[in-house]
Structure 1
Amino acid sequence: MRFNFFSRNTATVVNHEDAASFTLTPQMELYAAVATAALSDQFYEKADTRLERLRELVGKNEPLFVAQLAVYARESLHLRSVPLVLCVELARLHRGDNLLSRLVARVVQRPDEITELLAYYARANGRNGTKILNRVSKQLQKGLALSFNKFDGYQLAKYDRDGAVRLRDALFLVHPTARDAAQQALFDQLVRGELPTPYTWETELSAVGQAPYATPAERTAAVTRTWETLVASGKLGYMALLRNLRNILEANVSAETITQVCATLANRAAVARSKQLPFRFLAAFREVKALQSGHVAAVLTALEDAIAHSAANLRGFGPETRVVVACDVSSSMQQPISARSKVLLYDVSLVLGMLLQSRSQNVTAGMFGDTWKRISLPRGPVLRNVEEFYRREGEVGYSTNGYLVVQDLRQRREVVDKVMMFTDVQLWNSRGDGGTLALEWAEYRRTVAPNARLYLFDLAGHGTVPLEVRPETGVALIAGWSDKIFDVLTALDNGGSALTEIEAISF
Structure 2
Amino acid sequence: MSRFNKRAARAQPTSRVTSTGRVLRTYEGGRGHERDARSELFLLSVANFVSQHTFYETGTDRDTRFARLVRDLAVTDPAWTAGLLGWLRGEGNLRTASVVGAAEYVHARLEAGATDGPSNRQVIASVLRRPDEPGELLAYWTATYGRNVPKPVKRGVADAVRRLYSGKSLLKYDTASKGYRFGDILNLVHAAPDPDKPWQGELFRYALDRRHNPDTALPPASNRTLVAHRELMALPVDQRRAVVTSEGGAERLAAAGMTWEALAGWLQGPMDKEAWEAVIPSMGAMALVRNLRNFDQAGVSDEVAAQVAARISDPAEVARSRQFPFRYLAAYQHAPSLRWAYPLEQALGHSLANVPALPGRTLVLVDRSGSMFWSQLSDRSELNRADAAAIFGTALALRAKDADLVEFGTTSRRLTFGKGESVLKILGRFGDLGGTDTTSAVRAHYRGQDRVLIVTDEQYAHNRHGDPTRQVPADVPVYTWNLAGYRAGHGPSGKANRHTFGGLSDAAFRMVPLLESARDADWPWAA
| Structures share fold, TM-score greater than 0.5 | yes
Return the offset for 1:357. Answer: 1.8
Q: Report if the CA contact (8 A) 1:491-1:500 is conserved.
A: no
2:105 counterpart SS class: helix
CA-to-aligned-CA distance 1:248-285 (integer Å, 9 cap, x gap): 01111111111112111221221121111000000000
Alignment partner for residue 434 of structure 1, among 464, 467, 482? 464
- Alignment of 1:66 onto 2:81: yes
Return the offset for 1:41. Answer: 1.0
Corresponding position of 1:34: 45
Q: Distance in 2 between matches of 1:418 and 1:360?
A: 11
1:273 and 1:18, CA in 2 relative to 1: closer, same or farther beyond 3 A?
same
CA-to-aligned-CA distance 1:228-267 (integer Å, 9 cap, x gap): 2223x2x110110000000001111111111112111221
Alignment partner for residue 443 of structure 2, among 404, 407, 411? 407
Q: Distance in 2 between matches of 1:418 and 1:374?
A: 16
Corresponding position of 1:302: 343
CA-to-aligned-CA distance 1:45-78 (integer Å, 9 cap, x gap): 1111111101111133211111111111111111
Alignment of 1:58-97 (within 5 A): 58-61=70-73, 62-94=77-109, 95-96=114-115
CA-to-aligned-CA distance 1:410-453 (integer Å, 9 cap, x gap): 5xxx2112211111111114xxx613335xx33530xxxx4211
Q: Distance in 2 between matches of 1:52 and 1:377?
A: 42
Q: Distance in 1 between matches of 2:143 and 2:23?
A: 35
For 2:467, give the aligned amino acid.
Answer: L
Corresponding position of 1:214: none
Alignment partner for residue 22 of structure 1, among 26, 33, 42? 33
CA-to-aligned-CA distance 1:158-207 (integer Å, 9 cap, x gap): 11133333322221111111124421111111111146454212222333
1:5 and 1:312, CA in 2 relative to 1: closer, same or farther beyond 3 A?
closer
Q: Distance in 1 between matches of 2:15 and 2:389?
A: 28
- Alignment of 1:419 onto 2:452: yes
Alignment partner for residue 330 of structure 2, among 273, 283, 291? 283
Corresponding position of 2:206: 189
- Alignment of 1:204 onto 2:263: yes
Alignment partner for residue 467 of structure 1, among 476, 486, 491? 491
Q: CA RMSD for the aligned pairs? A: 2.0
Return the offset for 1:124. Answer: 2.7
TM-score by length of 1: 0.86
User: What residue ranges of structure 1 are gaps of 5+ in the alignment?
Assistant: 128-132, 212-218
User: What residue ranges of structure 2 are gaps of 5+ in the alignment?
Assistant: 1-13, 211-216, 220-225, 230-256
Q: Report if the CA contact (8 A) 2:15-2:495 is conserved.
A: no
Corresponding position of 2:364: 325
Corresponding position of 2:24: 13
Q: Distance in 2 between matches of 1:341 and 1:455?
A: 27
Determine what percentage of the aligned residue pairs are the same residue: 28
Q: Report if the CA contact (8 A) 2:17-2:499 is conserved.
A: no
1:111 counterpart SS class: coil
1:283 counterpart SS class: helix
2:501 counterpart SS class: strand
1:312 and 1:479, CA in 2 relative to 1: closer, same or farther beyond 3 A?
closer
Number of matched residues?
457
1:189 counterpart SS class: helix
Alignment partner for residue 367 of structure 1, among 404, 407, 420? 407
Alignment of 1:166-315 (within 5 A): 166-180=181-195, 181-193=198-210, 194=217, 196=226, 198-208=257-267, 210-211=268-269, 223-231=272-280, 233=281, 235-288=282-335, 291=336, 296-315=337-356
Q: Distance in 2 between matches of 1:378 and 1:265?
A: 26
Alignment partner for residue 357 of structure 2, among 316, 328, 334? 316
For 2:63, give the aligned amino acid.
Answer: L
Q: Report if the CA contact (8 A) 1:304-1:382 is conserved.
A: yes
Q: Distance in 2 between matches of 1:454 and 1:282?
A: 27
1:488 counterpart SS class: helix
1:354 counterpart SS class: helix
1:81 and 1:498, CA in 2 relative to 1: closer, same or farther beyond 3 A?
farther
Q: Report if the CA contact (8 A) 1:205-1:223 is conserved.
A: no
Return the offset for 1:454. Answer: 0.9
Return the offset for 1:26. Answer: 0.5
CA-to-aligned-CA distance 1:315-358 (integer Å, 9 cap, x gap): 2113xx21111111111101211123101111011111112122
1:182 and 1:444, CA in 2 relative to 1: closer, same or farther beyond 3 A?
closer
Alignment partner for residue 385 of structure 2, among 345, 351, 362? 345
For 1:149, give the aligned amino acid.
Answer: R
Query: Which stretch shifts more, 277-286 or 378-387?
Result: 378-387
For 2:32, give the aligned amino acid.
Answer: S
Return the offset for 1:492. Answer: 3.1
Higher relative contact order (CA 8 A, sep 6+): 2
2:452 counterpart SS class: strand
1:497 and 1:367, CA in 2 relative to 1: closer, same or farther beyond 3 A?
farther
TM-score by length of 2: 0.82
Q: Distance in 2 between matches of 1:5 and 1:265?
A: 35
Corresponding position of 1:130: none
